[in-house]
Amino acid sequence: MNKYKDIHFEVSERKILLRLFDVISVLLSLYLVGIVFQFNYFNISATNFYWTIVLGIYLNFIGSVFEMYNLQVASNQYQVIKSIILTSSTTVLLYLLTPIYTPVLPSNRIQIFFFFIAIFLALFTWRMIYVRFFASTRFQKKVILICDQDQLKELVDGLENADPHYRVLGFVNSDSTNIKTEVFPNIKNIEINDLETFVKKNSISEVVIASQKTDGITVKLYNQLIDLLENGYIIREYTQVYEAITQRIPVQYVSRDFYRYFPFSRSNQNHLYLIVVRFLEIVISLIGLGIGLLLIPLVFIGNLFGNKGKLFYTQERVGKNGAVFNIVKFRTMIKNAESDGAVFATFNDSRITPFGKIMRKSRIDEFPQFINILKGDMAVIGPRPERPIFVSEIAEVMPFYETRHVIKPGLTGWAQVNYSYGETIEDSLMKLQYDLYYIKHRSLFLDFNIMFKTFSTVLFYRGQ
Burial class for 88, CB neighbours closer than 10 Å (0-12, 13-18, 19+)? buried
Q: End of a domain among 78, 107, 134?
A: 134
Q: What is the pTM of this model?
A: 0.76
* 312 and 399 housed in the same domain: yes
* 16 and 64 housed in the same domain: yes
* 277 and 220 housed in the same domain: no
Q: In this structure, is residue 387 part of a structural domain?
A: yes
Q: Residue 239 and residue 186: Cα distance in Å, rounded?
A: 23
Q: Would you say 188 and 125 are in contact if contact means Cβ atoms under 8 Å apart?
A: no
Q: In this structure, is residue 3 part of a structural domain?
A: no
- pLDDT band with cut points at 50, 70 and 90 for residue 22: very high
* Distances from the Cα of 452 to the Cα of 131, 180, 413, 458, angstroms: 23, 48, 11, 10
**What is the residue-averaged pLDDT of the chain?**
81
pLDDT in tens, 153-208: 878 887 877 776 788 888 888 876 655 556 667 888 888 888 888 888 888 888 88
Look at the chain and report how many structural domains it folds into.
Answer: 3
pLDDT in tens, 336-355: 656 555 566 656 666 788 88
Q: In this structure, is residue 368 part of a structural domain?
A: yes
* 334 and 452 housed in the same domain: yes
Q: In this structure, is residue 310 part of a structural domain?
A: yes
Of the candidate ranges 212-221, 223-232, 395-404, 448-457, the one whose mean pLDDT is the lowest: 212-221
Q: In this structure, is residue 4 part of a structural domain?
A: no
Q: In this structure, is residue 193 part of a structural domain?
A: yes
* pLDDT confidence of residue 1: 44
Domain that residue 391 falls in: 266-459
* 229 and 367 housed in the same domain: no
CATH of the domain at 237: 3.40.50.11060
H-only helix segments in 258-405 = 271-302, 354-362, 369-375, 388-397
* 302 and 416 housed in the same domain: yes
- pLDDT band with cut points at 50, 70 and 90 for residue 246: confident
Q: In this structure, is residue 261 part of a structural domain?
A: no
Q: In this structure, is residue 176 part of a structural domain?
A: yes
Side chain identity, residue 225 = L
* 115 and 187 housed in the same domain: no
* Distances from the Cα of 371 to the Cα of 50, 178, 288, 306, 374, angstroms: 40, 58, 9, 25, 5
